[in-house]
Amino acid sequence: MAPRVYVTIVSPSVRATLLTTHALGINIEMEEIDLSNKEQFKPSFVKINPQHTVPTLEDDDDFVVWDSHVINGYLVDKYGGIDDSLYPTDMQERAKVNQKLHFDTEFATLSNRIVKSILWGGKKSAPQDQVDEIIERYDFLEKFLASGPYVALGHLTIADFSLIATVTTIELIVPLDPKKYPKIAAWIKKIQALPYYAANKNGLDKVRNLLAAALEA
């Protein structure tokens, strides 16, 4: 049985998991959860995931886990074979990846709050204090990339998948100045060149359209 992933592609977390599955060449079953119709609160889904969040992974019939960072690490551990580069088993390298994943958790929480306030809260822009917080995180990310072309190690990892989904989403609201952040701009182009980048782009395009409609309303 192929792993089943409950998704909504507008979610950056879901897109990070889809990037991971594509990078690993995993065939998965996707089940769409329509958040706009509150399908995440259906008893059948809450029974699987009491926190009713996406992505949620079902594997091996009875194993369930949620939170994209945990899911992505699990997928590499189980399906990555001898190539553990996306989530290294070396303790120190994995610690560096985990560090950036925790950074993404906080970054994504702020980003999601801003996006939701526009899509469903009637806001037309982010308040300046939140914009300042996003810019501070751009500053941090630019510094992270000073040591190499990827966010955690000298090669692609699941931390890049999580952060590209977060950054490209919030950048729709808080534009990223490529002159101020040349390393981030170069990193984005590098990830966009991946043959499976559509796993992020498709959902991102949908978010862009939703934001445009909300701002015009």
d(CA 209, CA 10): 10
Paired tokens of 188: 């984005």
d(CA 94, CA 122): 41
Please check whether residue 97 is in contact with residue 153, taking contact to mean a CB–CB distance below 8 angstroms: yes
Question: How many angstroms separate the first and last alpha carbons of the chain?
Answer: 44
- Residue 136 C-alpha from the chain's centroid: 19
Known catalytic residue at 11: yes
The residues that are catalytic are 11
